Amino acid sequence: MIAPEPLPSTTGRRRVLVSSVSSDSHTWNLVFLQLLLEELGHTVTNIGACVPDDLLIAECRRHRPDMVVISSVNGHGYLDGRRLIARLRAEPDLAGIPVVIGGKLGTRGAEGGSHAPELVEAGFDAVFEDSAGIGEFRRYLAAPQTPALHHDAPPVPVP
Ligand code: B12
């Protein structure tokens, strides 16, 4: 029998923006993340696939999310992600938003090595490569060092 991993308690409604990157047309990865985050009690805005950097920036300004979750599986995520996070961190009013990225980020899978160090260096708060499985992300969401999604962190007021 397969025992499901218990859901971590990141209770309290937080606003999470889920998005892909500009080159990536896959959508089920985004739906999966939306359902996972909703199951944890958060309010998710999923802005979909092939999102240009300018649109992501505009949507961050519009929604003021507590966290941005970027997903890419077409193999170009490490390139798109590096460019995107540099753009976002250059916007003074958005520079502090917690932003994570995950998925199949390179074209050569696990044998292509990890893209995490360069993506963290570029400005992401955390990187979740497909090969690590979803458990690492769930633990990250539940960790006390990830205050953005915890109920005792004050919610960001909607402007
Ligand atoms: C369906 C599919 C398509 C469909 C997508 C339809 C749609 N509406 O989504 C179509 C036909 C359009 C397509 C196109 C392409 N695809 Co495609 N596609 C797939 C396929 C078969 C399934 C993807 C899927 O839906 N999985 C279900 C979701 C729920 O799982 P997932 O995507 O794997 O995401 C999981 C994890 O990656 C992780 N995850 C993802 N993001 C994040 C983010 C965070 C923060 C975290 C924590 C976790 C996480 O969580 C998810 C659940 O476990 C995969 C192969 C496969 N079996 O995975 C190839 C695959 C993703 N495609 C691939 C490729 C190369 C392409 C194309 C470039 C092909 C081409 N030459 O045109 C194009 C890309 C077009 C583009 N502009 O992006 C490659 C990517 C290779 C790589 N990364 O190394 C794959 C892996 C096939 C392969 N083995 O080569 N594809």
The gap between the terminal CA atoms of the chain, to the nearest Å, is 48
* pLDDT tens, position by position, 61-87: 999 999 999 999 999 999 999 999 999
CA 156 to ligand 1 centroid distance, Å: 33
Protein residue closest via CA to atom 1 of ligand 1: 26
Q: How far is residue 136's CA from residue 128's CA, in Å, rounded to a whole number?
A: 7
pLDDT given for residue 1 in this prediction: 44
Higher pLDDT, 90 or 111: 90
pLDDT given for residue 8 in this prediction: 52
Residue type, 47: I
Q: How far is residue 126's CA from residue 146's CA, in Å, rounded to a whole number?
A: 10
131 lines ligand 1 (CB under 6 A): no
Q: Read out DSSP for 14-46? A: -EEEEE--TT----HHHHHHHHHHHHTT-EEEE
* pLDDT tens, position by position, 116-157: 999 999 999 999 999 888 999 999 998 877 766 665 555 544
What is the average pLDDT across 21-40?
97
Q: What is the pTM of this model?
A: 0.92
- What token pair was written down for 65? 């999310």
Protein residue closest via CA to atom 44 of ligand 1: 102
